[in-house]
């Protein structure tokens, strides 16, 4: 639901149904709302059978990459004699994305249940929930819920009386966007700098502490108990884009919009109605101009393009962008695109882990050029340099942070070139979208 606003009738609140309901935070309150039904059954079920249900449901990772969850789990060799680990990625640091925060704040047990089911499904006895350090409230809520769950025997050495061990611990981050990258996240848990690792080896082979590991996003894990309770068919049928994109998805909406918040809709929902109906359209007297639909790392599109989008993994790609983490950033006609894109580039420059040359140097250079253009000191050559620099920074590094810096910038220049040219020539800033 569109927390902090009232749920919109056209939403499909599965994961967000109890946002804003403090009683949903307790174990008792959560059980009263239908929680912890799936877990005891799951613990008595063969892990591979659970993997198959999730595969069948078509659930794809909600953190940004959209990898099929059941398939990811099936890479874990059950019974290989090694300790397996589950990491829940609650680092939620992608600008524009704030859905996991609300899941953890309001429905901590929903995540605990999802983690416990997934841990069992991949043969893991230990799960670490890696929460970004700034999320002090979600951390406190999760810790309290975990304490409660441990004391009640829901998790622990004999989870739900099943004889199985499911330990879940919170690991607090300390301020690093890149720790949302799964291998950087593992390094961070291991007490290292949050540097992404070279792949291969992939986490399912050698992950956390060198052992087979699965990393899943908060929203992904939270969806799992619902799928087990209601069946794969239910999950698929909910979507308007089945079978490629299934289920519901939380979209975080922010920026220049009347009702920012989290909205849960079935995949395949029309973006235009989403923006104007659910989110209430633009602020009074303004017009939507540009949208970054999947968190700041994806290409920016114009409102004209956005109005044609079907909200699913494929729908956004048709317009050269991505659904990503579902963080919808909206800029209206009062905003300077060069300024906002320069600010975004600075974000990446600040967050680069410093390993790869292209990223360490490129993100900073990009930022300096853009800031100079915004200050009215730019040249037309600078725009060419930015495109060539982006080419240099794309597809050449260990992780995609470097690519993510270039994507919104170059797509923004392509679509809003007039604004950049105005700054360069010193003529009045144009807010007319081109391309």
Partner 1 sequence: MSHGPSASGGAVAKPIPGHHHDEPYVPVFTAGSAPRAKLDDILSRYPTRQAGLLPALWIVQDERGWISESAMKEVGDVLGLTAAYVKGVVTFYTMYHQHPVGKYFIQVCTTSCCNCMGAEDVVKAFLEQTGCGELGLTSADGKYTVIEVECLGACGFATPIMVNDDFVDSVSVEKVPEILRKYA
Partner 2 sequence: MPDQKLVNVTIEGRPVSVPEGTTILEAAKTAGVLIPHYCYHPGLKIAGVCRMCLVEVEKMPKLAPSCATTVAEGQVVNVYSQKALDARKGVLELLLINHPLDCPICDQAGECELQDYTFQEGRADSRYREPKRFNPAEDFGGDVLYVTNRCILCTRCVRYMGDVAGDRALCVEERGDRAKIGIAPDHDLSHAWAANVVDLCPVGALVSKDFLNKARAWELDRTASVCPNCSQGCNITLETRDGALMRMKPRSNSEVNHFYLCDEGRLNYQWVDRGDRLEAPMVAGQAVSWEAALTAAGAALTTGARHVVASPSLSNEALWLLKQAAGVGTFRVAQGTEAPLPGVTDLARRADRAPNATGAELLGFTRAANPLSGAGDVVVIAGDDCAGLDTAALASAKHVIFLGTAAPAALPVGAIVLPIANFAEEEGTFTNLRGRVQRYLQARPAPGFARAGWLAMAGLASAAGKGGAYTSAAAVFAAMAKAESAFAGMSYDTVGLKGQTAPGARVNA
User: Considering the rule CB under 8 A, would residue 353 count as an interface residue with partner 1?
Assistant: yes
The listed partner (partner 1, partner 2, none) that binds 357, CB under 5 to 8 Å by sort, is partner 2
- Contacts of 392-399 spanning 24+ positions with Cβ under 8 A: 392/358, 392/362, 393/358, 393/359, 393/362, 393/363, 393/366, 396/356, 396/358, 397/355, 397/356, 397/358, 397/359, 398/196, 398/197, 398/198, 398/355, 398/356, 399/178, 399/181, 399/183, 399/184, 399/196
Which residues does residue 366 pair with via DSSP β-bridges, in sequence order? none
Residue among 348, 339, 345 nearest 289 (CA): 339
| Peptide linkage before 170 cis (omega within 30 of 0) | no
Among 65, 152, 283, 364, binds partner 2 (CB under 8 A): 364
User: Considering the rule CB under 8 A, would residue 186 count as an interface residue with partner 2?
Assistant: no
Strands 301-302 and 248-255: unpaired
CB of 219 to partner 2, least distance (A): 27
Cβ(415)–Cβ(290) below 8 Å = yes
The listed partner (partner 2, partner 1, none) that binds 192, CB under 5 to 8 Å by sort, is partner 1
Among 10, 193, 287, 427, binds partner 2 (CB under 8 A): 193
Query: How many residues form the binding site for partner 1 (CB under 8 A)?
Result: 65
CB of 112 to partner 2, least distance (A): 32
Among 360, 383, 400, 430, binds partner 2 (CB under 8 A): 360
User: Considering the rule CB under 8 A, would residue 252 count as an interface residue with partner 1?
Assistant: yes
Q: Which residues inside 292-331 make contact with partner 2, applying CB under 8 A?
A: none
Task: Give DSSP secondary structure letters for 245-275.
Answer: S-SEEEEEEEES-SS-EEEEEETTEEHHHII
CB of 259 to partner 2, least distance (A): 35
Cβ(416)–Cβ(290) below 8 Å = yes
Site string for partner 2, 385-414 (x = CB under 8 A): x-----xx--xxxx----------------
The listed partner (partner 2, partner 1, none) that binds 356, CB under 5 to 8 Å by sort, is partner 2
H/E segment holding residue 73: helix 69-74
Site string for partner 1, 122-161 (x = CB under 8 A): ----x-----xxxxxx------------------------
CB of 174 to partner 2, least distance (A): 12
Q: Which stretch binds partner 2 (CB under 8 A): 35-43, 102-110, 326-334, 355-363?
A: 355-363
Q: Is 65 helix (H, G, I), strand (E, B) or coil?
A: coil
CB of 133 to partner 1, least distance (A): 5
Kindly provide the residue ranges of all beta strands, DSSP E only, lying in 173-297, ordered along the sequence.
213-217, 248-255, 261-266, 269-270, 288-292
Cβ(399)–Cβ(196) below 8 Å = yes
The footprint of partner 2 (CB under 8 A) covers 176, 193, 198, 349-358, 360-365, 368-369, 372, 381-382, 385, 391-392, 395-398
The footprint of partner 1 (CB under 8 A) covers 4, 83, 92-98, 101, 126, 132-137, 167, 169, 171-177, 188-194, 209, 252-256, 260-262, 296, 327, 329, 331-332, 335, 339-341, 343-344, 346-347, 349-351, 353, 363-365, 367-368, 371
């Amino acid at each position: 639901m569109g927390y902090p606003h009232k749920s919109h009738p056209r939403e499909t609140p599965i994961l967000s149904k109890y946002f804003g309901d403090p009683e949903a935070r307790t174990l008792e309150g959560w059980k009263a709302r239908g929680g912890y039904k799936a877990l005891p059954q799951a613990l008595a079920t063969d892990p591979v059978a659970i993997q198959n249900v999730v595969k069948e449901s078509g659930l794809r990772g909600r953190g940004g990459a959209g990898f099929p969850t059941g398939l990811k789990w099936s890479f874990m060799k059950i019974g290989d004699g090694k300790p397996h680990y589950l990491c829940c990625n609650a680092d939620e640091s992608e600008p524009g994305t704030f859905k996991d925060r609300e899941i953890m704040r309001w429905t901590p047990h929903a995540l605990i249940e999802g983690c416990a089911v997934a841990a069992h499904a991949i043969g893991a006895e230990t799960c670490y929930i890696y929460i970004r350090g700034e999320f002090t409230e979600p951390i406190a809520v999760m810790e309290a819920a975990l304490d409660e769950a441990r004391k009640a025997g829901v998790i622990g050495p004999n989870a739900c009386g099943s004889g199985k061990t499911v330990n879940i611990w919170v690991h607090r981050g300390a301020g690093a966007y890149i720790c949302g990258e799964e291998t950087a996240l593992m390094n961070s848990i291991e007490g290292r700098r949050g540097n992404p690792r070279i792949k291969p080896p992939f986490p399912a082979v050698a992950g956390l502490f060198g052992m087979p590991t699965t990393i899943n996003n908060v929203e992904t894990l939270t969806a799992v108990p619902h799928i087990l309770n209601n069946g794969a068919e239910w999950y698929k049928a909910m979507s308007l884009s089945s079978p490629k994109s299934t289920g519901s998805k939380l979209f975080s909406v922010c920026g220049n919009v009347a009702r920012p918040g989290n909205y849960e809709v079935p995949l395949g929902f029309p973006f235009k109605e989403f923006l104007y109906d659910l989110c209430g359209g633009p602020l009074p007297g303004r017009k939507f101009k540009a949208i970054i639909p999947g968190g700041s790392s994806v290409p920016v599109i114009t409102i004209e393009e956005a109005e044609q989008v079907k909200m699913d993994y494929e729908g956004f790609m048709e317009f050269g962008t991505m659904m990503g983490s579902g963080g919808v950033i909206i800029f209206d006609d009062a905003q300077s695109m060069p300024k906002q894109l320069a600010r975004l580039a600075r974000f990446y420059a600040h967050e680069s882990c410093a390993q790869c040359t292209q990223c360490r140097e490129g993100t900073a250079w990009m930022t300096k050029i853009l800031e100079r253009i915004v200050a009215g000191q730019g040249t037309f050559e600078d725009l060419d340099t930015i495109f060539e620099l982006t080419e240099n920074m794309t597809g050449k590094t260990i992780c995609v942070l470097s690519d993510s810096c270039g994507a919104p910038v170059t797509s923004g220049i392509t679509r809003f070139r007039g604004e950049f040219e105005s700054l360069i020539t010193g003529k009045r800033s144009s807010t007319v979208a081109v391309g």
